[in-house]
Amino acid sequence: MLRLLVPFALLLTLVGVSVLSDRPAPRADFVFINRGDVNTLDPQRMSWMQDLRVARLLFEGLVQNDVLCDDFGIIPAVAESWSVSDDRLTYTFHLREGARWSNGAPVTAEDFRYSWRRAMLPDLASDYVNMFMLVRGAQDFYNWRERALSDFPQRTFASARERAEAADDLWTQTRARFDETVDLKAPDAHTLIVTLERPVPYFLDLCAFAVFYPVYGPLVEQFERPDPVTARLIRRPGWTKPGVLISNGPFELTRWRFKRDMRLEANPNWWNLSSLAIRSIDIPSINDPNASVLAFQTGAVDWVSDVTVQYRGDMLDDKNDFYREHADDVAALRAQGLDAFEIDRRLPDDPRRDIQAVPVFGTYFYNFNCKPLLPDGRSNPFADARVRRAFSMCVDKKALAEQVRRLGEPPANTLIPPGSIGGYHSPRGLKNVGDAATESERDAIAAEARALLDQAGFPRDFVVELLFNKDSGHDLIAQAIAKNWQQYLGVQTALAQKEIKIFREDLKNKQYMTGRAGWYGDYGDPTTFLDICYSTDGNNDRAYSSPAYDALLDKAAIEPDPDKRMALLSEAERILVEEDLPLIPLFTYANVSMFDPARVTGMTTHPRAKENLYLVDILGDGKGPDKPRPMRPAGVRAGQTTPAPETTTPAASPTPPAGGSR
Partner 1 sequence: MTTLIFRRLLQLPLILLVIYTITLWLAWAIPGNPLENPDRRPKPEVIEQMNKQYNLDSFPKFYFSYLDNATGFHWLRDTLSGRIAHERALAAEAGQPAPHRPVFDFGPSLEYDDWTVNEIVAGALPVSVTLGAAAILIALVIGLLAGIVGAVRPNSLADLATLGVALIGISLPSFVIGTVMLLVFSLLLAWFPVAQWGTPRSLVLPAVTLSLPFAAYIARLTRMGMIDALGADYIRTARAKGASELSVLLRHALKNAFLPVLSFLGPAAALAMTGSFIVERVFTIPGMGQHFVNGVLNKDLFLVMGVVLIFAAMLILFNLAVDVLYRWVDPRIE
Tell which positions 222-251 bind partner 1, by CB under 8 A: 222, 227, 230, 232, 234-238, 240-241
The binder of partner 1 chosen from 181, 191, 195, 285 (CB under 8 A): 285
Q: Considering beta carbons, is residue 150 or 487 the nearer one to partner 1?
A: 150
Asked if residue 583 lies in contact with residue 515, where contact means CB atoms within 8 angstroms, the answer is no
Q: Given candidates 172, 173, 297, 403, which one binds partner 1 under the rule CB under 8 A? A: 297
Among positions 5-64, residues that touch partner 1 (CB under 8 A) are 6-8, 11-12, 14-15, 18-19, 22-24, 37, 39-42, 45, 47-48
Q: Does residue 65 interact with partner 1 by CB under 8 A?
A: no
Q: Which is nearer to partner 1, 224 or 402 (CB)?
A: 224
Burial call 560-588: b when 16+ CB within 10 Å, e when fewer: eebeebbbbbbbbbbbbbbbbbbbbbbbb
258 near partner 1 (CB under 8 A):
yes
Closer residue to partner 1 (CB): 160 or 331: 160
Pick the closer one to partner 1 by CB: 13 or 455. 13
Say how many C-beta atoms besides its own lie within 10 A of residue 1's C-beta: 4
CB nearer partner 1, residue 11 or residue 332: 11
Minimum CB distance to partner 1 smaller for 259 or for 324: 259
Contact 82, 657 (CB under 8 A): no
Q: Which is nearer to partner 1, 390 or 416 (CB)?
A: 416
**In terms of CB distance, is 232 or 606 closer to partner 1?**
232
Of residues 87, 162, 179, 288, which one binds partner 1 by CB under 8 A? 288
Angstrom distance (rounded) from CA 180 to CA 178 = 5
Q: How far apart are CA 302 and CA 29, in angstroms?
A: 9
Query: Considering the rule CB under 8 A, would residue 160 count as an interface residue with partner 1?
Result: no
Regarding 254 and contact with partner 1 (CB under 8 A), the answer is no
Fill in the per-residue mask, 107 to 136: x = in contact with partner 1 (CB under 8 A), - = not in contact. ---------------xx-x-xxx-------
In angstroms, what is the minimal distance from the CB of 21 to partner 1? Answer: 9
CB 314 to partner 1: min, Å: 16
161 binds partner 1 (CB under 8 A): no
Length of the chain: 662
CA dist 292 to 28, 301, 305, 309, 310, Å? 17, 8, 10, 9, 12
In the complex, the smallest distance separating the C-beta of residue 576 from partner 1, rounded to whole angstroms, is 18
| CB 221, min distance to partner 1, A | 9
Residues 298-317 close enough to bind partner 1 by CB under 8 A: 298, 300
Binding flag, residue 257, partner 1 (CB under 8 A): yes
For residue 421, the 8-state DSSP code is S
Residue 40: CB minimum distance to partner 1, A: 4
Does residue 399 interact with partner 1 by CB under 8 A? no
Site for partner 1 in 139-158 (CB under 8 A): 146, 149-150
DSSP for residue 47? -
Q: Measured at the alpha carbon of residue 325, what is the angle toward residues 320 and 331, in degrees to the nearest 5?
A: 80
Does 175 contact partner 1 by CB under 8 A? no
The secondary structure of 583-647 as a DSSP string is EEEEEEEEEEEE--TTTEE----STT----GGG-EETTSSSS-----PPBPTT--TT-SS--TT-
Contact pick of 103, 287, 403, 472 for partner 1 (by CB under 8 A): 287
Give the residue with the Cβ less far from partner 1, 14 or 273: 14
Give the closest residue to 589 by CA, choosing from 372, 367, 306: 306
The footprint of partner 1 on this chain (CB under 8 A) covers a number of residues equal to: 71
List Cβ<8 Å contacts ≥24 apart for 89-93. Answer: 89/136, 89/195, 89/196, 89/198, 89/199, 90/193, 90/194, 90/195, 90/196, 91/193, 91/194, 91/195, 91/196, 91/203, 91/204, 92/191, 92/192, 92/193, 93/62, 93/191, 93/192, 93/193, 93/194
